[in-house]
Every structure is written in structure tokens, then in C-alpha cells.
């Protein structure tokens, strides 16, 4: 009977010791950490790098307005990931620009307009 009491007392004590970290974690104030991001909708587009042979996958985060890219480097066998770009700030900057600066020039190369046919020409006359 004495051995049984010792074993039960030991198990109760062990459970109490194991429960302390669990309880303290749930009731302890949370430390400063980044808030988890919400689920997002992504648009992925394959693309090429200008002046290179590597192909990339462009990833547009439609919920958080961010653009990222990634590619697989065959030489190192590693996935390279670009830090995301905040598209919202780029769009705000574009909205602040005057409309004339967003349009291409009317005649950038000073190319003369195409010749117009003479009046009456080509009517089978």
C-alpha cells in the first residue's frame, strides 16, 4: 500500500511540474512579434530577365499589393527569391504625377506622318 501511494504521489507531482510551462505560456503576456499576415490571393506569371537567359516567376500579391519574383539557379541548385516591392506606394506616386508626364510623346522620333492619298485617287475613275 505504501508503494502505491508513493507512485501516485510522484505521478501527481510530475503532472503538476509538466503543467506549469503549459499554463505559464498561455497566461504570460505575448512578447513583441510581427503579426501574422492574412491569407492572400496571388497571381503568378512566368517571365524572362532582360539581358539574361534565366526565367523567373513573378508573384503579385493581390491582397497586400506587393510584387515579388523567384527563379531557380541551375548552377547552385537553389531557389532565389526577390524581396517584395510595395506596389501601393508606386501607384500612389503615379497618381501624384501630372497626366502629361504619363503619356508618351506624340512623335518621339520626329517621323513624318504617312502620306495621304490625293483626293479622288483610287476611286476607279
Domain residue extents for the chain: 40-100
* 55-61 and 66-73 strand pairing: antiparallel
Give the per-residue pLDDT at 125: 46
For the segment 58-81, what is each residue's pLDDT rounded down to a tens digit?
A: 999 988 889 999 998 888 888 899
Give the per-residue pLDDT at 15: 81
Angstrom distances, CA of residue 121 to CA of 112, 113, 115, 124: 21, 19, 13, 8
For the segment 20-31, what is each residue's pLDDT rounded down to a tens digit?
A: 777 766 665 656
For the segment 33-44, what is each residue's pLDDT rounded down to a tens digit?
A: 666 666 778 889
Dihedral class, residue 67 (left if φ above 0, else alpha if ψ from -120 to 50, else beta): beta
Amino acid at each position: 500500500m505504501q508503494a502505491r501511494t508513493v507512485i501516485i504521489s510522484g505521478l501527481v507531482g510530475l503532472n503538476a511540474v509538466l503543467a506549469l510551462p503549459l499554463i505559464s505560456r498561455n497566461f504570460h503576456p505575448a512578447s513583441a512579434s510581427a503579426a501574422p499576415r492574412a491569407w492572400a490571393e496571388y497571381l503568378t506569371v512566368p517571365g524572362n530577365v532582360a539581358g539574361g537567359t534565366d526565367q523567373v516567376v513573378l508573384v503579385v500579391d493581390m491582397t497586400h499589393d506587393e510584387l515579388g519574383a523567384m527563379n531557380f539557379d541551375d548552377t547552385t541548385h537553389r531557389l532565389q527569391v526577390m524581396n517584395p516591392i510595395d506596389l501601393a506606394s508606386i501607384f500612389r506616386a503615379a497618381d501624384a504625377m501630372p497626366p502629361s508626364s504619363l503619356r508618351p510623346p506624340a512623335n518621339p522620333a520626329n517621323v513624318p506622318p504617312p502620306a495621304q492619298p490625293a483626293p479622288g485617287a483610287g476611286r476607279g475613275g
